[in-house]
Amino acid sequence: MEWILIIAILFGLAFGVYKLAEHKNRSAGGWLILAVIFNPILIIIILALMPKLSKRSTGDENFKIKKRKKRR
Domain ranges across the chain: 2-51
What is the structure's pLDDT at 56? Answer: 63
| Alpha helices per DSSP H over the chain | 2-23, 28-37, 40-49
> Cα Rg for the chain, rounded, in angstroms?
18
Q: Is the pLDDT of residue 65 over 80?
A: no
Alpha carbon 30 to its chain's center:
6
What is the structure's pLDDT at 54? Answer: 83
Which residue, 26, 33, 23, 22, is CA-closest to 59? 26
pLDDT digits (tens, 9 = 90+) for 47-63: 999 999 887 655 555 55
- Full-model pTM: 0.70
pLDDT digits (tens, 9 = 90+) for 6-62: 999 999 999 999 999 999 999 999 999 999 999 999 999 999 999 998 876 555 555
State the DSSP code for 38: S
